[in-house]
Structure 1
């Protein structure tokens, strides 16, 4: 099994896990909301409902991005990952604003909101945290292995769910023990801030990729070191990179001895390309060969 096939299967497994967990959490939190009426659980439910929509969209994007290049998409379909990640950011942002607005309205209201069935709500949130932790650990492992932007964004989003879930447990416990229901709205407001900040981070990464921002400076520096020390290469210039989903497209001009044969020059360029891809498997590399001193 080649590297690309392995990465695709890992990304799909992460997408399927995300959809499955989101479905379970939506069902559990619907029951908990009906039992308790807690705004902190409503905030968590809204987030999980968005998780479900985003996870389905992310899985579709992963499947589409895995399609090979064709006549209409010579560089493949990996930009679909960035479009999906940008959509994730927008959905999360809207969710955060709505939840925050509702929380502020409750805090400013003179009429206290009664909460009920706190013990059942706490049990649901504990299960939610355990499922979310398991999913995040798997997604982070896949993202480290494949560099997939959709999986990384989904992992960040689910990670941001953990603190609000813990806060919801605290709010329900305080309400049950001391009858202080305002804590519920404070937790929801804090969750909305986290959602908005996370949305900005997710959206910026996707937007940068769609605008052809260069790759990570550390990756660029690593490629430069490989080329600088490579046998037969006298220099290089015009190293350019751009991101598209989990792929990094690299273009570089190398300077070679003009008196060597075409076969020898080709062998050096091909060997350099293989070396870069071995070091950075997410890269798609094009090597241009120029005569040293005549560029």
Structure 2
């Protein structure tokens, strides 16, 4: 991964930690003021955001280390391990939040809410900060292909629903005295969080198990190979993912009468074209001689 991409990933992770820390402090104050379960749900989510984002920052920093004697292919799998840890944290949070919501829903007396206006103001600020962070994370993930940044972005996107739900619950409580909506929002938020965690964990698990790259990306790489000057054919194309890296190796068939320098030039040009289109790829090309008239 280029140093520019590393800096982008680190900037997104650092921004995530900073926003999460600010939101935890702000929502904790709002919870004390309102006693709202939906605010508590959003606070729990932000608390986990802080832990998960901090782990993400550590994972990205470690994954950016260059290859060494013991890790010839680099350290990018650390991103997948981090993303898997993120998913486990999120599942635990979702289960705990669902339990609290169910207990309050089944309680004989609805829990009162207070200072709804304060809570609404806090949640609006939360939505604005989260939205700005998501836009930056999406841009970084699109440029670098980082799985950790993409997972963090998905998680923060799922945070918007609890925040919007909290605003609705607080408004209904202040306007009409409805408090059960607050509990329902907590349940919905836990479900969104749970299924989002499953998606993140599944992607990380697939990468750790060396699953192939996205079929669309493979098809584009095959098109580049087939159209490259001097390449008669290709076979045995294999891919695997590790963090934000995609490892690709394949055989190309070249005119057997070419000199070694000519064959090398064709392979080097092809490798450059693929990396230019997909900077996150690591390319290994085997060159096989072939009779062009065969």
Q: Which residue of structure 2 aligns with residue 86 of structure 1?
A: 84
Q: Which residue of structure 1 aligns with residue 100 of structure 2?
A: 102
How far apart, in 1, do the equivalents of 2:231 and 2:142 lie?
32
How far apart, in 2, do the equivalents of 1:292 and 1:200 lie?
47
1:26-58, Cα deviation, whole Å (9 max, x unpaired): 000110111111111111111100000011110
Q: Which residue of structure 2 aligns with residue 266 of structure 1?
A: 264
Q: Which residue of structure 2 aligns with residue 236 of structure 1?
A: 234
1:57-83, Cα deviation, whole Å (9 max, x unpaired): 100111111111111111111111111
TM-score (norm 1): 0.97
Contact 1:227–1:233 (8 Å) recurs in 2: yes
Contact 1:235–1:292 (8 Å) recurs in 2: no
Q: Which residue of structure 2 aligns with residue 137 of structure 1?
A: 135
Question: Could you tell me how far 1:12 is from its partner in structure 2?
Answer: 0.8
Where in structure 2 are the equivalents of 1:184-199 lying within 5 Å?
184-199=182-197
1:214-270, Cα deviation, whole Å (9 max, x unpaired): 001111001111111111111111100000111100001111122221111111111
Q: Which residue of structure 1 aligns with residue 213 of structure 2?
A: 215
> Per the alignment, in what secondary structure is the counterpart of residue 220 of structure 1?
helix
Where in structure 2 are the equivalents of 1:1-295 lying within 5 Å?
4-292=2-290
How far apart, in 1, do the equivalents of 2:8 and 2:58 lie?
14
> Per the alignment, in what secondary structure is the counterpart of residue 243 of structure 1?
strand
> Per the alignment, in what secondary structure is the counterpart of residue 214 of structure 1?
coil
How far apart, in 2, do the equivalents of 1:265 and 1:248 lie?
24
Structure 1 consecutive aligned stretches of length 4 or more whose deviation exceeds 2 Å: none
Structure 1, unmatched stretches of 5+, are none
Question: Could you tell me how far 1:109 is from its partner in structure 2?
Answer: 1.3
How far apart, in 2, do the equivalents of 1:258 and 1:138 lie?
50
> Per the alignment, in what secondary structure is the counterpart of residue 40 of structure 1?
helix
How far apart, in 1, do the equivalents of 2:157 and 2:142 lie?
15
Contact 1:148–1:245 (8 Å) recurs in 2: yes
Q: Root-mean-square deviation (CA), in Å?
A: 1.2
TM-score (norm 2): 0.97
> Per the alignment, in what secondary structure is the counterpart of residue 258 of structure 2?
coil
Question: Could you tell me how far 1:90 is from its partner in structure 2?
Answer: 0.9
Question: Could you tell me how far 1:292 is from its partner in structure 2?
Answer: 2.0
> Per the alignment, in what secondary structure is the counterpart of residue 29 of structure 1?
helix
